[in-house]
Amino acid sequence: MIRHRSLFHRFFSIVHRKKDARVQTFLYIPFFASLLLVVAAIFDVGFDQTAFMRRILHLVYLVGFIVEVLALLLRLIRPVQRRVAVVFVDVLMCLVLLGYIPVLFGHVWLPALSNPYWQGLLILLIFVREASIVHLKIRRSLLNPAQMFLFSFLLLIVMGAMLLYMPHATFEGISLLDALFTSTSAVCVTGLAVVDTGATFTTFGLIVLMLLMQLGGLGMMTFTSYFSYFFKGGTSYENQLALQEMTNADKISEVFLVLRRILLLTLGIELVGGLLIYHFLQTSGLFPEQGRLLFTFFHSISAFCNAGFSTLSNSLYEVGYRMNYGLQLVVASLFIVGGLGFPILFNLVRYLKHLLTHKLLNKRGVSMPWVINLHTRVVLITSVSLLVLGTLGVFLLEWEGVLAEHSGVGKWVVAFFTAATPRTAGFNVVDTAAIQLPTLLLVVFLMWVGASPGSTGGGIKTSTFAIALLNSISIAKGKDRIDCFGREVSPITVRRAYSQVFLSVLVIVAATWALSLFEPEQRFRALFFETVSAFSTVGLSTGLTPFLSIGGKWVLIVTMFVGRLSMLTFMVAFFKQVTYLKYRYPQEDILIN
């Protein structure tokens, strides 16, 4: 009897597995349909179409939309416990698709639906919905989290280059190398440009750049991981561990809560920043060639992501914008907030809640004396100190220089902007090539330090600089540890800081040397400035980048990529990790000085 029962269970377990396999196969049909829709939309927008090809694309759209509607309806009637938010999204998408299908037959009942960019947005949402529930399992032995992070950026850069290389992405076309350089600069949120962004790229090309900056600034894994969790309702423990390290979440259970906060905070800040930019454009009577709405959100995304791309030929130094101090303060606020880092922003929000509930409302309860953590204190003090010292330095050094055309408050605003933008923002309100050598060295130092950890900016990071400085002071005092605000900094943090400093200097020296080989006629000052700007993903330029040779462009492409991901990440990705450390060798000192 036991034998027959075991055979019975084995038979039905096999049937169950086959049933699961059929279900999994069915799930891939809408995914491949959505992927085909994306390819068709890109081909439709990016290239000129014949009448025959347009009929084929029309058929692909129709079949793809019908498949997606059927898939959504089957999910809605399927008796599976799902969250209300997912059901709401599916119902909404289904209604939109049902309303859009008549448009394919020529019945445009809503004029906005005939816009190809709205159709592209709808197809993108369909693809995100379907790709999020596809189960993609990558063996840990093939790709570790650091390698996945690295290859996700590499994949995004290649895809971006292909999109920017399409005929309809530019007015007159660009070379494949220039498309790759621009894509790398956008994904690595650098802002260095070999072509005039506004004059070269069409509306389609600018939208591609906006997507690349957004995905590159926050990381493609942030978007894919959150939407996958949202629609699936869960993920593996290994993925949560990788995401915990990437998002700096305190607890593994809070990983996706942190991801959701990152996305909502980013979109909220960019929306508010865009509205303010639009306001100052309107009050100043400025009419950008690309239109106010596109200009507004392009610069809002570029500023918050510290990308530095602008549709203006001379960035904010363009005539009509260089005196618009309100616009400059909005853009500066966006890239300063984006450069602080999400851990800092979350900690500050938590502190404001603490003040509201325990101080202003005099609420009695559990005391929270250490709301502002050590990381936030160190980063904020370092950031404010660099901003103040940088502003004073630029103001005093360039009083009769690039600040001469400004007066009163305008001098201080421009000096503040010029001191803040090297923190990996890349916008300029002065002629960078015209600043004096002492100011240029100050800007190089600010670029090298860069933004804060967990932000959209680059550089060695403010906390790294602060830890290295505090450690030097501690050694000078004869101390064997770093004490700060009643806390002791862990030894691993100190080792990481000095590793970042050393590797950054190594990469900058190597890149400058390589650039000098390909650009022997250029001055060292210009080569060094461009290299530091590329490594720290700043985007400021003395005017050298558009005139680089093919070899020089490749040097900066690699430098931007390494600078965005950090050399330490590359080493972690490809060095075999040591798992057994239960031994110690005898200690011995090495002479330093």
- Phi and psi angles of residue 47, each rounded to the nearest 5 degrees, phi first: -130, 160
Q: What is the pLDDT of residue 535?
A: 93
DSSP structure class, residue 201? B
At 446, list the tokens: 């600010």
Tell me the average pLDDT across 485-513: 89
Kindly list the distances between the CA atom of residue 453 and the CA atoms of 133, 258, 325, 450, in Å, as whole numbers in the listed order.
Answer: 31, 15, 29, 10
Q: What tokens were used for 114?
A: 């005939």
Which residues is 484 bridged to in the sheet?
487
Mean pLDDT over 449-455 rounds to: 84
pLDDT, position 516: 93
Higher pLDDT, 456 or 273: 273
Min mean pLDDT across 3-7, 374-378, 392-396 is at 3-7
pLDDT band at 70 (very low <50, low <70, confident <90, very high): confident
For residue 574, count other CB atoms closer than 10 A to its CB.
Answer: 11
Q: How many helices (H) and strands (E) does the chain have?
A: 22, 2
Mind listing the pLDDT tens digit for each residue in 515-543?
Answer: 999 999 888 999 999 999 999 989 888 88
pLDDT of amino acid 248: 52
Distance CA 290, CA 207 (A): 11
In this structure, is the dihedral angle defined by the CA atoms of residues 48, 53, 55 and 58, taken in order, positive or negative?
A: negative
Looking at per-residue confidence, does 254 or 56 come out higher? 56
Q: What is the mean pLDDT of the segment spanning 205-214? A: 91
Q: Is 206 helix (H, G, I), strand (E, B) or coil?
A: helix
**Cα–Cα distance for residue pair 173/176, rounded to 1 Å:** 9
Residue-wise pLDDT tens digits, 264-306: 888 889 999 999 999 888 888 777 777 788 899 999 999 998 8
Question: pLDDT at residue 155 above 90?
Answer: no
Provide the pairing of β-strand 487-488 with 483-484: antiparallel
Q: What is the pLDDT of residue 161?
A: 93
Q: Do 352 and 371 contact (CB within 8 A), yes or no?
A: no
Looking at the chain, the whole-number percentage of residues with pLDDT higher than 70 is 80
Model pLDDT for residues 233-262, shown as the tens digit of each residue: 444 444 554 554 554 555 545 555 667 777
pLDDT tens-digit series, residues 321-357: 888 899 999 999 998 988 887 788 888 888 887 777 7
Q: Are 455 and 338 in contact (CB under 8 A)?
A: yes
Residue pair 122/100 in contact by the 8 Å Cβ criterion: yes
* Spacing of C-alpha 400 from chain mean position: 37
Q: Is the pLDDT assigned to residue 231 strictly greater than 50?
A: no
* pLDDT at position 396: 92
